[in-house]
Chains A and B, each alone.
Chain A
């Protein structure tokens, strides 16, 4: 059976999706990255292979997410694509009429504008991580609330408090202040949701023309309180697609399928049971010029597979002997 695999290794979670030759989703995995992208990719491969039929044959594999290059080398990806393209492709596949995509992940948030089935504009958050999943996680942890409880509590709010959303540092001190004044935790939590939505619309979506229908995806779309805050602020019903959390992986799989069909070649995919292989990452400072770049490298059984991080091409070409 023909399988196209998409792997999205994000800052917080690792997602895998498997599609058949008709681009139907037949298996998916959602794991926390826990700062160990390599292990999680290997675990994810093992887990997804259990969901697939025995005669599954991977005809194309694509990687995306912030660790896309690393994951690409490990699995032998046929295609390494950025998150924006992957998300857009996946959404246009499942909801062809979508005009605006709101995507909020662990460390970044994006907006994608689609016209006539083509991406015409996009925006991403600037360096600040305010208004992303990590901020919600962090605040939930500080209040001792499980992130799954977060939405349920926040939705019970009747008089949400106003919290500064521009910057996490100000946001947090605002929250602490409100909590010490005696406001109810439900109201503070929903206030936080509203702040995140305001921050998103005023930062990431600034100057973008948000046409309907709007699709909301990414891990944060699990949070019903955020969905409600978006609906209230945009005065519409945003669509949360099924499998919204693995859209990046689906997009990578779709693009891998497209790439293999266009290129008419065999997949480089290394297999599901790379689990036994011992990948070692290390880094060093290049002293070839005064830039002193930090070069990271990935090795399998002592053989260097890839290097990253240089400001020039010196280390990008791989030399198994270890010297440029």
Chain B
């Protein structure tokens, strides 16, 4: 069977059900790279210049780990998914950056997603992608539609049942329903950031798990509905400029004003859009003064002491605040 490789990095965390279903509907097999390890990150950072952001290094590492395990690698160039909303340049150039830095990679299957150029262009791009697998346009259309519906259901499941992406992912890989989280909890903390940071446990040093071990209920951006995110983004900044702004500014704005005891923003060192977006949330928190906010910047360091101290201090602060001492 013809096998399509998908690196477990960046937008994989956003769209994997959609991508997987699309290729499977077209009769291809899907290979997903294993979870991030020190070797994956080391391989990625050795190929890129030092200034590149951490998530891009992780991505290239995953591409390298797929070499020899699949017949092609799927790397979309997502330019925009909404009108007049722009994406980080690393996402635009992802297929070309990969070709330049991983010459031994199998052929790269790419697709330009740019809503700014109209829906017709998007449909043509999807058709061109599908043509690698079949000549039958009806089959491609059906695969695309099933993939889109799967993605919508996936989003609705998380937002509707308040499930974290990691729960849904683990359940999907194990073929089970996601388990219910244990109650009761000491406090609720919203952890905001891009899914490729929040759910790559190697990159984020198990932030979510550490909080849960301290009996904290963690809520994340994908538990909010699209309309909640859009409304909060509009309230905070008028409207999104960056493609994945809602999961930071929108989620941050929403949680700051809604029944959580604290908000932690997690971002990668060297991420330009994040440094701007997280600051918006920080400023809003400073103005509202109702919910504490802390931001954490991650890079390649492996020592966890600094992170642990900050998480402990933050949860203590919330705890003592609740007790009133």
B-binding residues in A (CB < 8 A): 66, 81-85, 117-122, 124, 126-127, 207, 209, 289-292, 311
CA distance A81 to B320 in the complex (A): 13
B294 nearest in chain A by CB position: A122
Report whether A84 and B324 are in contact in the complex, using a CB–CB cutoff of 8 Å: no
Q: List residues of chain B with CB within 8 A of the CB of A119.
A: 316-317, 320-321
Contacts of A289 in B (CB 8 A): 37
The answer to whether A82 and B316 touch across the interface, beta carbons within 8 angstroms, is yes
Chain B, Cβ-Cβ closest to A120: B292
Supply 14 further A-B pairs (C-beta < 8 A) apart from A118-B320, A127-B306: A66-B305, A83-B313, A84-B309, A84-B316, A85-B317, A85-B320, A117-B325, A119-B320, A120-B321, A122-B317, A124-B306, A127-B299, A209-B286, A291-B202
A82 to B315, CA, bound (A): 11
- The answer to whether A291 touches B316 (Cβ under 8 A) is no
Nearest B-chain residue to A67, judged by Cβ: B305
Q: Say whether A292 contacts B325, CB under 8 Å.
A: no
List the A residue with the shortest CB-CB distance to B34.
Answer: A290
Bound-complex Cα distance A311 to B35 (A): 13
Whole-angstrom distance between the alpha carbons of A292 and B316 in the complex? 31
B234 to chain A, nearest CB (A): 24
Q: Are A82 and B313 in contact, with the CB atoms below 8 A?
A: yes
Q: Please give the number of chain B residues whose Cβ is less than 8 angstroms from any Cβ of chain A in the complex.
A: 28
Would you call B316 and A311 a contact (CB within 8 A)? no
CB-nearest residue of chain A relative to B206?
A311
Contact at B292–A118, with CB atoms within 8 Å?
no
* Closest beta carbon of chain A to B33's beta carbon, Å: 12
CA distance A234 to B297 in the complex (A): 28
Contact B309 A124 (CB under 8 A): yes
A82 and B309: CB pair below 8 A?
yes
Nearest 5 CB-CB pairings of A with B = A84-B313, A290-B37, A82-B312, A85-B316, A119-B317
B321→A118 contact, CB < 8 A: yes
Residues of A within 8 A of B325 (CB): 117-118
Do A311 and B202 contact each other (CB < 8 Å), given the known contacts A119-B321, A290-B37, A290-B38? Answer: yes
CB distance from A247 to the nearest CB of B (A): 15
B39 in the interface, Cβ–Cβ < 8 Å? yes
- 22 inter-chain pairs at a CB distance below 8 angstroms, sorted by A residue, are A66-B309, A81-B316, A82-B309, A82-B316, A83-B309, A83-B313, A85-B312, A85-B313, A85-B320, A117-B325, A118-B317, A118-B320, A119-B321, A120-B321, A121-B292, A122-B317, A209-B286, A289-B37, A290-B39, A291-B37, A292-B38, A311-B206
**Complex contacts, A84 vs chain B, CB 8 Å:** 309, 313, 316-317
Query: In the complex, which residues of chain A have a beta carbon less than 8 angstroms from the beta carbon of B132?
Result: none
Taking CB atoms, residues of chain A closer than 8 Å to B206 are: 311
Q: How far in angstroms is the closest Cβ of chain B from A64?
A: 10
Is B310 on the interface with A (CB-CB < 8 A)?
yes
Minimum CB–CB distance for B34 against chain A, Å: 8
B301 within 8 A of A: yes
Q: Which residues of B contact A207 (CB under 8 A)?
A: 282, 286
Give the residues in chain A near B297, CB-CB below 8 Å.
Answer: 126
Produce 1/0 per residue, B251-291, CB < 8 A to A. Answer: 00000000000000000000000000000001000100100
Could you say which residues of chain B place their CB within 8 Å of the CB of A85? 312-313, 316-317, 320
In the bound complex, how far is the Cα of B308 from the Cα of A180, in angstroms?
A: 43
Least CB distance from A105 to B in Å reads 12
Q: Which residues of A contact B321 (CB under 8 A)?
A: 118-120
Given contacts A85-B316, A207-B282, A291-B37, contact A118 B324 (CB under 8 A): yes
Task: Output the least CB separation between A223 and chain B (Å).
Answer: 24
Q: Distance (Å) between the CB of A206 and the closest chain B CB?
A: 10
> In the docked arrangement, what's the CA distance between A289 and B39, Å?
11
Give Cα A289–Cα B36 distance, bound, in whole angstroms.
11
Q: Which chain A residues border B128 with CB–CB below 8 Å?
A: none
Q: Hey, which chain B residues are within 8 Å of A83, CB to CB? A: 309, 313
Residues on A with C-beta less than 8 A from B202 are: 291, 311
A127 touches B37 (CB 8 A): no
The answer to whether B205 has its CB under 8 Å from any CB of chain A is yes
Q: Bound complex: CA of A122 vs CA of B264, how far in Å?
A: 13
Q: Within 8 Å CB of B205, what residues of A? A: 311
CA distance A292 to B302 in the complex (A): 12
A120 to B324, CA, bound (A): 11
B151-203 residues at the A interface, CB under 8 angstroms:
201-202
Separation of A121 and B262 alpha carbons in the complex (Å): 11
Shortest C-beta distance, B14 to chain A (Å), equals 24
CA distance A126 to B299 in the complex (A): 11
- Per the bound structure, the CA–CA distance linking A276 and B193 in Å amounts to 50
Q: Which residues of B contact A126 (CB under 8 A)?
A: 297
Complex CA–CA separation, A289 to B202 (angstroms): 12
User: In the complex, A290 Cα to B42 Cα: how many Å?
Assistant: 12
B262 to chain A, nearest CB (A): 11
Shortest CB-to-CB span from B202 to chain A, Å, is 7
Residues in chain A near residue B38, CB distance under 8 A: 290-292
Query: CA–CA, A124 to B324, complex, Å?
Result: 23
